[in-house]
Amino acid sequence: MTTPEQMRAAVAQYVEEIHRAYVAQAMTFPAAVRGRMPLLAPGPLTVAAVGARNLHVLATRDSLGPVRSPEVELSGSVEGLSWTLRFFDSVVLPELAALHGIEQSHYHHLDVHDHTMLVLAETIALAEALGIDPQDFFEAVEGGPLDLPYARIKGKAMIERSFEDPAFRLALARKDAELILEAAGRQELELPIMQAVTDRLRRAERAGHGEEDMAATYWVSAAGNGAR
């Protein structure tokens, strides 16, 4: 069974790999450009990892106040960048209200919705294969715990086959999923669901959808029913 310490170590490794890639990319830019990059600005940088329904990772230079139980802080650094990784219990920040109130937050904001999106893709593909209107699914879950705004947005894109204006490119989602697996592997953690997510993203990218919105994983689920 995975312990909280192991999960924190895996997230810490993931954040370090993201920052390492960020700095490596920054070094390819002129000094004037690097000076405008938010994570390289002077001052303390806090990375908040919050578990409220999903994992949210957010970096900010705003003060988040003193550490309170049951919060945990870990320090991290790569060449040219240092930060404090702070784990918040969902009770401390209900519904992420405190973080959503931060106006000047800069970071790759990770909502681990990948698995939700893939299940949604399969649900819509199955409904279409059975001759059922996919909209019936959203009517069935309306007002319940499965009635997620994220699912409605991505579901609409899948039903309309509208992936050309990406909110988050599928290739980047695949890269992030691989980074999570690499970080977990270093901690000897097995994440079978994330592995399945990564495999599906890879298949969609190989099929030519890497530059489209990550919801284009729909095409992998619908490959056998002649969807167009």
CATH number for 153: 1.10.1040.10
Six-digit token string for 157? 């894109």
Q: Is residue 38 part of a domain?
A: yes
The tokens describing 142, both together, are: 């309306």
**In-domain check, residue 228:** no
- C-alpha to C-alpha distance for 132 and 128, rounded to whole angstroms: 6
Position 87 pLDDT exceeds 70: yes
Model confidence pLDDT, tens digit, residues 165-208: 887 889 988 888 888 788 878 878 777 878 888 899 999 999 99
Q: What's the pLDDT tens digit per position in 137-158?
A: 888 888 876 777 778 888 899 9
Q: Which two tokens stand for residue 26?
A: 């920054």
Of 48, 78, 111, the last residue of a domain is 111
Tell me the pTM: 0.54
Quick one: tokens of 17?
């790999």
Instruction: Give the strand pairing for 54-60 and 46-52.
Output: antiparallel
Residues 10-43: tens digit of each pLDDT:
888 888 888 888 888 888 888 888 887 778 888 8
Based on the structure, what is the number of domains in the chain? 2
Q: Is 148 a member of any domain? A: yes
Given this model, what pLDDT does residue 106 score?
Answer: 36
The total of other beta-carbon atoms located within 10 Å of residue 227's CB is 15
Q: CA 159, CA 55: separation in Å to the nearest integer?
A: 27
Mean pLDDT of the chain: 78
Residues 96 and 133 occupy one common structural domain: no
